[in-house]
Structure 1
Amino acid sequence: MNIQAFEYSAEGMNRVYENEKWLVGIKNWKPANDITSIDCLERHNETDELFVLIAGKCELVYANETSNGLHFEVVKMEPFKVYNIPATLWHNTITEKDTKLVLIEDSSTSLENTDIFKLSNQQIQQIRKCVNIE
């Protein structure tokens, strides 16, 4: 038996380790996660998701549903802290080039139990305002 090591350096996310209970992925910057291109939020309906920033900059944008629609908030991630996204919370990552995150989630998380919400132009502007980009 040997110790295994995993890495990923291309754009976007790749599941680098997975077993029957959980998975670990590496998520790097990609154009869709840039503040100039963000157009959706997602939520995992059955499972939490954990993020750890290991390089670069990342803001976690999230939204709670209210009677007036979605209410957006942003958390500026700090390196090496663990951030939990609870199941059913709308969220996305806003990253810059050279950003690298580790994500950990239940191995059952998939598109079958995940919703994608397409943002309107007005909602994108609200998010940019939260991130101080206008």
Structure 2
Amino acid sequence: MAIESYEFTGEGMSRVYENEKWTVGIKNYKPANDIANVDCVERHNETDELFVLLAGSCTLVYAEGADDSLTFKAVKMEPNKVYNIPKSLWHNTITKPDTKMILIEDSSTGMSNSDVLNLSSEQIEKLKSAVNALN
């Protein structure tokens, strides 16, 4: 037996390690997570999700309330801190091209127990306002 190591240098997210209990992924910048292109939020209905910023810039956006009257808030991530997204919280990551993060979640997390909400143009503007208020 030997120590194993994993990496991912591509665009977006890749689960680099997974066992029967949990998954570790590496999430890099992708255009869909740029502030200019964000158009949705997601939630995981049964599990929490953890993020750690390694490099670059990431703002966690989250939303509370009913789907048609969401209130958007944002948290600018700091490197080397662990951020927990509680189960059922609408969220997304806003990143820049040099971003690299680690994500940790239950291995059962997937589209079968998650939702994606496509945002209206009005909701996108509210999300962007929450992000821009931090700058």
Shorter-chain-normalised TM-score: which range?
A: over 0.9
2:38 equivalent in structure 1: 38
Cα deviation for residue 127 of structure 1 reads 1.1
**Could you say which structure has the higher strand fraction?**
1
Q: Point out 4+ residue stretches in structure 1 off by more than 2 angstroms.
A: none
- The 5-angstrom pairing of residues 42-61 of structure 1 reads 42-61=42-61
- Aligned residues: CA RMSD: 1.3
Count of paired positions: 133
SS in 2 for 1:98: coil
Please give the TM-score of this superposition, normalised by the length of structure 2.
0.96
* Structure 1 unmatched ranges of 5 or more: none
Structure 1: how far apart are the matches of 2:12 and 2:79?
Answer: 19
Once the two structures are superposed, residues 78-103 of structure 1 have per-residue CA deviations (whole angstroms, 9 ceiling, x without a partner) of: 00000000000000000000100100
* Structure 2 unmatched ranges of 5 or more: none
Cα deviation for residue 130 of structure 1 reads 1.1
1:29 equivalent in structure 2: 29
1:94 equivalent in structure 2: 94
User: Identical aligned pairs, as a percentage?
Assistant: 63
Please give the TM-score of this superposition, normalised by the length of structure 1.
0.96
